[in-house]
Structure formats: C-alpha cells, structure tokens
Amino acid sequence: MHRINHNGVHKEAIRRYLLYVLLGLVILFTSYLFVLATLGYGIGSDGRLISNGLLVINTEPKGAEIRVDGVKENSRTPSQLPLRQGRYSIELNKPGYRPWNSEVWVEGGKVLWVDHAKLVNAEFEQTKVEGLEPDIANSIFIENLGLILAEVSTAVNLGIVDAGSGRLKFQQDISSRLRVGPAGNFGEIELHRWGLSTSKLLVVQRLDDIVDHRVIDVTDLERSFSISAKYGQIFDKITATANEQVFYSLSGGRLSRHDLRTSGQQVIASDVGAIAYGTEGQALYVLDKSGTRLRKLDDSSTDLVEYASFDTPISSMMVSSYESHEYVSLARPDNRLAVYRIPKGDKQGAAPVVPEKLISFEYPVKEVSHSYQGRFILAKTGSGAKVYDLEFNRVNSLELYDSLRWVDDTRLSFMDNGNLVISDYDGSNEYVIGPANNKIMPVAANRGMVIYYSAPSLAPGGASVVVSTKLNQ
C-alpha cells in the first residue's frame, strides 16, 4: 500500500500558485504598459512616467517604407508613430525614388507633423523644350494653362509650356501690343496673373521711366488692351480682383476702384502708401502713408474697414493666408522685416486689432517671398537667408545661394557651383538637378512637377537651351 507524500503535493501547489501569480503580474504589467501607450505615455530610463509624442508622417507619393533610427517600422506612409521624447533619424524609401532623410525632435505630449516629404524620382526625366529660346525675362504658372515664359529680345514672345509633358504648347508674339523704345527695345517686362483668370495676364512694361499696364489674353490677343490707354493715365500699381472686370489702382497715394465694363473709376482713399491683394482672392489690404494703419477692403464693398494698427511705421507689405490666420510680412523703412499674425474674420464695426508679432528680423532684409500655400516665408539678408515656418513658429537659417527661390509649397531651388539644386525648406535633402545657367532663374510649375532652366550641357556646342525636368511622377 503506497503512502501519499502530502508535503510534496503541498510544495507543488505552492509552486503552481506562485507561477500563476507571476504570470498574472506579467499580464497586468503588460496591460498597464499597453494602456499607457494608448494614452500616450511611456516609462523613462529612470523609471518615471513620461508623456510620449506622436510622429505623423505623410509622403507624396504614399506607400514609403519608414525607418526610425535605422529600425524598419511595420507601417508605411501615411503613418502615425508614438515615440518617446527625443531626437530621431527618419529615412523614407520607395522603389523608383531617392531616399528621403531628416532629423526630427519629438516632444512629449505633442504631435509632430512631417508632411513635407516629397519623394524625388530616382532618375530625373529631362526634356529640351523645342522652339523656346533661353532669353527668358519673367515667368508665371497658371492652372489649366501651364507655365508661361516671356522671351524678350528683338520681340516679346510668350511661350506656354504644358506642366504635364514639359513641352511647348504654343507661342504668342505680343510685340505689337507693347510700347517700343527708340532703339527697338521693350524695356523690362513683368508677368502677373489677372485676378483668378485662366487665360489673362497683367503685363507690366517699364520703358523710359514710364510704367504701362496691359491685360493680355494669351488665348485671344484681340481681347487684349492697355489699361493706361483705356483710362488715359499712368498708374503706380494695379491689382485685379477675383472678378476679372474689377481692379484697384494706386497712383500718387490715391486708391481707386475701376470697373472695366463701364470704364468707371471711383476714388476710395487718398492717403495710401501701399496695397496688397490677399492670397485667397477676396480682399485688398491698404496701408496708409504713415505706415501705422492697416485697413481692409472686401470685393463686395467700397468701404475701408479698420483692420490693424502698428507702433512702428511700415513701408511695404506682403500678405498670405494659412489656416485660420492671415500673415502680413511688413518691412520698415530701414528694410528690417517683421511678420505679424492676424486672426481671420470680419472686422466690420470692431476696433482695430493689435497684430501678434511672431518674429522680427533685426537686420536688413533684401527680399521676401511666401511659399505657394503660405506656410513658409523666405527672407534674404545680406549674408544669408531665413525660412520662417508659420505652423510651428520656428526659423531655419540657410546659406544665401544664387537664385534662391520657392519651387513649390515646401521646396526651394538655388544655384550652387553652376548646378541647379533642389532642397527642402530647411536645407535638407539636397538634389543636384544638373548644370544650369544664371541667365534664366529656375522656375517651377505648381507642386514642383516641372522645373525649367538653362542647361548648356544638353545643347550641341554648349549653347543654352530651356529644359523641363520632372521631379515627381
């Protein structure tokens, strides 16, 4: 008859109980970590509870592989990655495209958007634009029409290049519509879009100290006309409204509203120092001669509305809109620049708001430009350049390269050692496009789909030609 070892059974039960307790603790701790991660928290190296940050990555095109500090993530773009606070190295890869790299700082409890990652083709597709000469004086891009380049030599031709194929669609000789100097010259030519038109341009011609403004319809020259001749006067500046039949003029401090249908002219104010039309095409911003009073004029009204006031006199301005605010880049008479933020909204009947000064450049600024979608402001100084990010309220410093300008809403182009180079707004991800000539500045179609530049290496005998380059599919 066998005797039962009660002591051994008791020990086995204790071991089994301890194992279950330990397993339960592991499950409980894992669940605790999962809940913390879900709520955006983690455990620091010192054991303290810390708030994680969220890295949101979008690319154009989508579907890029993501590596964080060299470790491949399971998801592809677009993706959201919870990360502990700290600095990370991000690499994005997609077959057929060049790698995209960036260093980012993720702050605990906050969301960091990396939404400017535009992947560049592994091989640039370059096409010589046949029939277009390299004597390009100015250019402008218009949706549904293409890139319009003005050739100015013995004649003035407008070359319209298709943004999709990079090939010349057609040309228009507008020489007969312009003034001609005694030496057969045309002076300086500028191209501006006429309101929101998809076919009309405002061509500004400066010749012999006279400024002439003409509306040119590139699809039907017979509908073109000289504003100066129509109204019998010379204007300092003209800006068209969203309604192509109405425009504003500034001459000798006098602001007027014109209606092309009736040839009517209405004087609105006589103490104006500068005007700028909003990027959303709905209102005119009016700065008085003192440079301290900013007013706004809606297209549907002829009444100036008090909008903002400034302590420091302003000499010139540029307006852009981004999300729920309007941003006004204002230059003082000493060319020092300040950027102000003003909430959007109707100020009719309200007291002037005091704009929030976001940044002030305490050194002379030579040139200012806003990116296509208004998020970034590029300011060139005598020794370098600054890019101000309106979304994250930060400034990036860049070298002052030749022909530094915006390609699209997040990328810049510039000349470096005879080559055309593309980079992100913060100077990262530089791509050398190829040999270029400063004679014509790099010009980009919308969203950086096509870039035009002069490339001696693509022409027999080293002659300059115009070339279209596709950055993205």
DSSP state for residue 375 in the 8-state scheme: S
Which amino acid is it at 284?
L
Distance between CA atoms of residues 316 and 100, nearest Å: 38
pLDDT digits (tens, 9 = 90+) for 364-413: 777 888 887 778 888 887 778 888 888 777 888 888 787 788 887 888 88
pLDDT-based confidence at 68, cuts 50/70/90? very high
Distance of alpha carbon 5 from the chain centroid? 83
> How much is the pLDDT for 457?
64
DSSP lists the bridge partners of residue 257 as 248, 266
Coil, helix or strand at residue 33: helix
94-98, 303-307, 454-458: least confidently modelled range: 454-458
Give residue 176's region: left, alpha or beta (phi > 0; psi -120 to 50).
Answer: alpha
pLDDT digits (tens, 9 = 90+) for 339-362: 777 776 544 445 556 667 777 777
- With pLDDT > 70 as the criterion, what percentage of the chain qualifies? 83
Average pLDDT over residues 240-265: 86
Give the C-alpha distances (Å, rounded to integers) separating 75 from 87, 89, 98. 20, 17, 19
Is the bond preceding residue 435 a cis peptide, omega within 30 degrees? Answer: no
Distance between CA atoms of residues 175 and 168, nearest Å: 19
**pLDDT above 70 for 443:** no
What is the 3 state secondary structure string of the chain? CCCCCHHHHHHHHHHHHHHHHHHHHHHHHHHHHHHHHHCCEEECCCCCEEECEEEEEEEECCCCEEEECCEEEEEECCEEEEECCEEEEEEEECCCECCEEEEEEECCCCEEEEEEEECCECCCEEEECCCCCCCEEEEEEECCCEEEEEEECCCEEEEEECCCCCCEEEEEECHHHCCCCCCCCCCEEEEEECCCCCCEEEEEEEECCEEEEEEEECCCHHHCEEHHHHHCCCCCEEEECCCCCEEEEEECCEEEEEECCCCEEEEEECCEEEEEECCCCCEEEEEECCCCEEEEEECCCCCCEEEEECCCCCCEEEEEEECCEEEEEEECCCCEEEEEEEECCCCCCCCCECCEEEEEEEEEEEEEEECCCCCEEEEEECCCEEEEECCCCEEEEECCCEEEEECCCCEEEEEECCEEEEEECCCCCCEEEEECCCCCCCEECHHHCEEEEECHHHCHHHCCCEEEEECCC
DSSP state for residue 227 in the 8-state scheme: H
pLDDT digits (tens, 9 = 90+) for 153-187: 788 888 888 777 777 888 888 888 888 888 888 88
- With pLDDT > 90 as the criterion, what percentage of the chain qualifies? 5
- Average pLDDT of the chain, as a whole number: 79
Distance between CA atoms of residues 325 and 339, nearest Å: 12
Where b means 16+ CB within 10 Å and e means fewer, 399-416 reads eebebbbbbbbbbbbbbb
DSSP state for residue 339 in the 8-state scheme: E
Those residues with Cβ within 8 angstroms of residue 445's Cβ, 6 or more apart along the chain or in another chain? 141, 146, 147, 163, 451
Which amino acid is it at 176?
S
Answer yes or no: are the C-beta atoms of 382 and 363 closer than 8 Å: yes
Distance between CA atoms of residues 448 and 467, nearest Å: 14
Which amino acid is it at 407?
V
What is the 3 state secondary structure string of 8-19? HHHHHHHHHHHH
Backbone phi and psi for residue 205, each to the nearest 5 degrees, phi listed first: -115, 125
**pLDDT above 70 for 304:** yes
Which amino acid is it at 247?
F
Task: Give the CA dihedral 437, 440, 444, 450, nearest 10 degrees.
Answer: -60
Six-digit token string for 446: 């919308």
pLDDT-based confidence at 88, cuts 50/70/90? very high
> How much is the pLDDT for 61?
85
pLDDT digits (tens, 9 = 90+) for 30-46: 776 666 555 555 555 55
Average pLDDT over residues 110-121: 83
Instruction: Identify the helix (H) or strand (E) that includes residue 154.
Output: none
pLDDT digits (tens, 9 = 90+) for 197-249: 888 889 998 888 888 899 998 888 888 888 888 888 888 888 888 778 888 98
pTM above 0.75, yes or no: no
> How much is the pLDDT for 348?
47
> How much is the pLDDT for 69?
93
**pLDDT above 90 for 67:** yes
> How much is the pLDDT for 351?
57
Residue with tokens 């039962």: 4
> How much is the pLDDT for 347?
47
Average pLDDT over residues 126-144: 75
